[in-house]
Amino acid sequence: MVQLLVRLIPFNAFARLRASLYRLAGFTVGARARVAGPLTVRGTGNLAGRLSIGEATFVNSPAHIELNAPVRIGARCAIGHHFVLITSNHVLGPATQRAGALVHAPVTIGDGVWIGACVTVLPGVTIGDGAFVGAGAVVTRDVPPNARVGAPRSEIIGTMSETAPMPRGERVPRPAGPGADG
Per-residue model confidence as pLDDT tens digits over 126-170: 999 999 999 999 999 999 999 999 876 666 767 777 765 555 555
Q: What one-character DSSP code corresponds to residue 38?
A: -
Within 10 angstroms of residue 41's Cβ, the number of other Cβ atoms is 21
pLDDT at 57 over 50: yes
Question: Among the options 64, 82, 90, 104, which is catalytic?
Answer: 90
Q: Assess contact for 134 and 116: CB atoms under 8 A.
A: yes
SS3 content of the chain, % helix, strand, coil (to 5): 10, 30, 55
Q: 2-153 domain in CATH 2.160.10.10?
A: yes
With a cut of 70, say whether residue 4 has pLDDT above it: no
- The pLDDT of residue 156: 73
Mean pLDDT, rounded, for 59-64:
95
Closest CA to 61 of 82, 78, 42: 82
| Under 8 Å between Cβ of 83 and 61 | no
Higher confidence at residue 100 or residue 161? 100
Whether the CB-CB separation of 95 and 74 falls below 8 Å is answered with no
Q: How far apart are alpha carbons 128 and 109 in whole angstroms?
A: 7
Q: What is the pLDDT of residues 66-85, one digit of tens each?
A: 999 999 999 999 999 999 99
pLDDT over threshold 50, residue 115: yes
DSSP readout, 85-100?
Answer: E--EEEEE--TT-SEE
Mean pLDDT of 6-17: 67
Mark whether 104 is an active-site residue: no
For position 21, what pLDDT does the model report? 85
